[in-house]
């Protein structure tokens, strides 16, 4: 009886250690997994969010489906039709249980909503219901995902649906092929 009582706390410590190890280690790509030519592992990155906190993609792999939205932030996120449409139609994506990360070349401070000239906030200036990330190192992450046009030297709008294992399942390179929030929500519901 005494051995059984000792086994319970020891088992709890072992389980907690295994969970911590799984969360902390980078995802492993299994070489023999058959992946279609259009599917590939999502390149890992770490970027600053709008609050200047580091966000690592590896923390989501193995736990969440992801929607990675690359947008041209030259006029700010509140002027991106892609993000405004996503915010207006966010409910189906939220209900799918996916995490949304919007990525641009803006600095973290430029990703925060700002009051207008009179110090007021309008509906257009409200915070976005998803994470905003700053790819400020010469669009490095944009380039890794193919969301940068080297001929024009500008970022391209793009949306990537990533499954829990970290594999990119759907790619939408804009502007004509972006689809929309309804399409992305449907794709998210059909990936693991």
Which pair of structure tokens corresponds to residue 9?
């706390």
- Measure the CA–CA gap between 190 and 70, rounded to whole angstroms: 22
Rounded to two decimals, the pTM is 0.75
Instruction: Give me the residue spans of the domains in the chain.
Output: 30-189
Half-sphere exposure of 80 (CA within 13 A, CB side): 26
Q: How confident is the prediction for the chain on average, in pLDDT?
A: 82
Of 26-30, 124-128, 169-173, which range is least confident?
26-30
Q: Is the model's pLDDT at 124 over the cut of 60?
A: no
Q: Is the model's pLDDT at 12 over the cut of 90?
A: no
**What confidence tier does 103 reach under pLDDT thresholds 50, 70, 90?**
very high
Q: Is the model's pLDDT at 32 over the cut of 70?
A: no
- Measure the CA–CA gap between 71 and 76, rounded to whole angstroms: 10
- Superfamily of domain covering 30-189: Glutaredoxin (3.40.30.10)
Question: Which SS3 state, helix, strand or coil, does residue 49 take?
Answer: strand
Backbone dihedral angles phi then psi of residue 75, each to the nearest 5 degrees: -105, 10
Q: How many residues would you count in the chain?
A: 192
**Which pLDDT belongs to residue 29?**
38
Q: Is the model's pLDDT at 14 over the cut of 90?
A: no
**What confidence tier does 115 reach under pLDDT thresholds 50, 70, 90?**
low
**Which pLDDT belongs to residue 117?**
60
**What confidence tier does 141 reach under pLDDT thresholds 50, 70, 90?**
very high
């Amino acid at each position: 009886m005494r051995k059984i009582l000792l086994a319970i706390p020891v088992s709890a410590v072992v389980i907690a250690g295994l969970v911590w190890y799984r969360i902390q280690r980078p995802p492993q790509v299994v070489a023999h997994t058959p992946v279609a030519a259009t599917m590939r592992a999502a390149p890992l990155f770490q970027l600053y969010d709008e609050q200047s906190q580091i966000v690592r993609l590896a923390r989501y792999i193995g736990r969440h489906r992801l929607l990675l939205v690359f947008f041209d932030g030259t006029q700010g996120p509140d002027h991106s039709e892609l993000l405004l449409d996503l915010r207006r139609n966010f409910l189906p994506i939220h209900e799918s249980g996916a995490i949304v990360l919007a990525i641009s070349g803006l600095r973290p401070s430029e990703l925060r909503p700002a009051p207008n000239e009179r110090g007021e906030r309008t509906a257009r200036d409200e915070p976005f219901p998803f994470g905003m990330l700053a790819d400020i190192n010469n669009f490095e992450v944009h380039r890794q995902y193919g969301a940068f046009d080297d001929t024009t030297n500008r970022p391209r709008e793009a949306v990537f649906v990533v499954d829990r294992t970290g594999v990119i399942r759907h790619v939408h390179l804009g502007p004509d092929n972006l689809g929309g929030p309804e399409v992305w929500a449907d794709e998210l519901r059909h990936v693991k």
